[in-house]
Amino acid sequence: MADAAASKIMPPGSKALAPSGIVVVGVEFSPDPVALGRPANTLLSVMPVKQHTEPTYGYLRQTVRTSNAAVVAEGGTKPTSVFSVVRIEDSLDVVAHISEPCPRYWLVDSPALQQFLTTELTYGLQVAIEAAALATINATSGIMAQAYNTSPLATLRKSLTVLETQGYEAGFMLLNPADWEGVELALASASAVEYQGLPYDSSARRLFGVPIVVSNAEAVGVSHTVGQGAVGLDTDTAGVQVAWSETSNATDWATNMIRCRGRGGSRRRCSPRRLL
C-alpha cells in the first residue's frame, strides 16, 4: 500500500504540502537511513528450522538413556536397557511489533524508507526470537552444568568432555561478545609455549574444532556448549510478514500517518542434551 501511495501522490524531491506563498524546494538529505550496528553472529544462525502447517504440533524427546548391554552366556537372560522418550505437545508463539506512526509523505521524500522500516522490524523480530529461544533452552530439564575451572579456556574445554562422556558431539559454543573477547585476548597474550598447538582458528572462529557463536542474548560470564541436533526452531510456513496500514488506530487516517507491522510465528524446540 505504501508503494502505491508513494507513486501516486508526488514525484520524489518535492514537498507534498506547503502554505500559500511559500516556495517549495527539494530537501537535501541522504535518502538511505543509517542503521545501527548489528551483531554478525546469532543463535538463530546455527539452529535448524522445521516448518509446520498447523499452529500446534508434537515431537518426541529422550529423557533417559541407560544402556545395560553386556556379554551374555548362551541361553542366559539378556539385560534390559532403558531408553525413555516422552511426547511433547507444543504450539507456535506469535512474535510481533509495530513501528511508530510515519508521515505518509516521508515515503515520497525517501523511497528507501519503506525498506528501512521493513529491515528494522525484521531484525527486531530476530532479536526477540533469539532471546526467547535461549530462555527456553535454560528452562529445559536435563541440562548438564560445568562449573568455572581455572580459566575460561579450561572451562570451555571441560564442557566438551561433559558432552563426550554422555556420548554426544558438540555442535557449537555460545558466548557473549565480551566473554569471547576475553578468550581471544588470552590466546593472543599467552606465551607460545603454554598454548603451543592449541586448536584455535581465528578466521573460522573455531575453538577446539567447535564453531563459536557470539550473541548479545547470552549472559556475560555464561556460555552454552550445545550438542549437535539438541536445539531447533519451529516456525510456520508463512515466515515473517510485514504489513502497512493507515487505519491501525483512530488517529492515523486523520493525521495522514502510516504504521508498519512485522510478525512471525515461531517456537523453540529443545531436547535435554545440552550443557549450560
Dihedral over Cα of 133, 138, 144, 146: its sign? positive
- pLDDT value for 32: 55
Full-model pTM: 0.74
Instruction: Identify residue 197 by its one-letter amino acid code.
Output: G
Q: How far apart are the first and last CA of the chain?
A: 47
- The Cα angle at residue 180 between residues 175 and 181, in degrees rounded to 5: 150
Closest alpha carbon to 212 in 41, 37, 39: 41
- pLDDT value for 101: 87
What is the rounded CA–CA span in Å between residue 265 and residue 234? Answer: 8
pLDDT tens series, the chain, 276 aa: 555 544 544 444 444 333 333 333 444 444 555 555 555 478 888 888 888 888 888 888 888 888 999 999 999 999 999 999 888 888 888 888 988 888 888 877 887 888 888 888 888 888 898 999 899 888 887 788 899 988 888 899 999 999 998 888 998 999 999 999 988 888 877 554 455 567 777 778 888 888 899 999 999 999 999 998 888 888 888 778 888 888 778 788 788 888 888 887 665 555 433 333
Cβ neighbors of 183 (< 8 A, separation 6 or more) are: 152, 153, 156, 175, 207
Distances (CA, A) of 17 to 114, 200, 245, 257: 20, 61, 21, 14
